[in-house]
Every structure is written in C-alpha cells, then in structure tokens.
Amino acid sequence: MNATSQPYFKRHIFFCTNQRDNGQACCADHQPQQAFEHCKQRVKNAGAAGPGGVRVNRAGCLDRCAGGPVAVVYPEGVWYTYVDANDLNEIVDQHLLRGEVVERLVLPSSVGR
C-alpha cells in the first residue's frame, strides 16, 4: 500500500464464535453470537459501518480459548475479552469509533488456548 492509499475499513473487529466438541473451553460457551449482533448494531447506529469505517465479523477459532470470549481489533491487533453489553459498548465507543484502547478489557498476552 502506498502512502496515499487508504484501507478499505478503518477498523475491523472479529468475534470468535468457535464451538469445541471435546469439552474444552471455547468462546461459544459465552454467547458470542449475541455479542457480535450487539456490536454490529451499535456500529451501524453510530453511522460507522461500511467502507472507510468499521467492519464487524464472526470468526472461527482465534486460538485464545482460555480468555474467552475474545474479540480482536485490527489494524491495531488489540485482543479483548468482555463480559456484557457494557463492555462491548465501551469497545465500540472508545476503540472502534475513537481509536483508544480499552485497557481494562485487553486480554493479557500470556493467555492462549
């Protein structure tokens, strides 16, 4: 990408929705579909959805199962864990819309599968 080109989306958030069949911890145990839908609607209501704005996506396993539920925001590569709609609202309002990391919800780098 040259210096004058712009990314198609300013930010992109992926929600892990993976279900493990072997009884191991997984994000699907924490209702990630509802979190995805809530985030998508909040971004849309803010007028930030679409090209040049924010894209909200579901993802398969992101390999950070022990921290579930998890979401990751790009291009910054910031990993979040969340508990409820208030946490999601904070991620949308502060990070997706203003570009400020929500430090209290950042998933520690030591958390993996």
pLDDT of residue 7: 87
Q: Per the structure block, which two tokens stand in for 62?
A: 């992101």
pLDDT tens, the chain, 113 aa long: 555 578 899 999 999 998 888 877 888 888 999 999 999 999 999 999 999 999 999 999 999 988 889 999 999 999 999 999 999 999 999 999 999 999 999 999 988 77
Tell me, rounded to whole angstroms, the distance of Cα 82 from its chain centroid: 9
Tell me, rounded to whole angstroms, the distance of Cα 93 from its chain centroid: 13
**At 39, phi and psi to the nearest 5?**
-65, -45
Domains and CATH numbers, the chain: 11-105 (3.40.30.10)
pLDDT of residue 5: 75
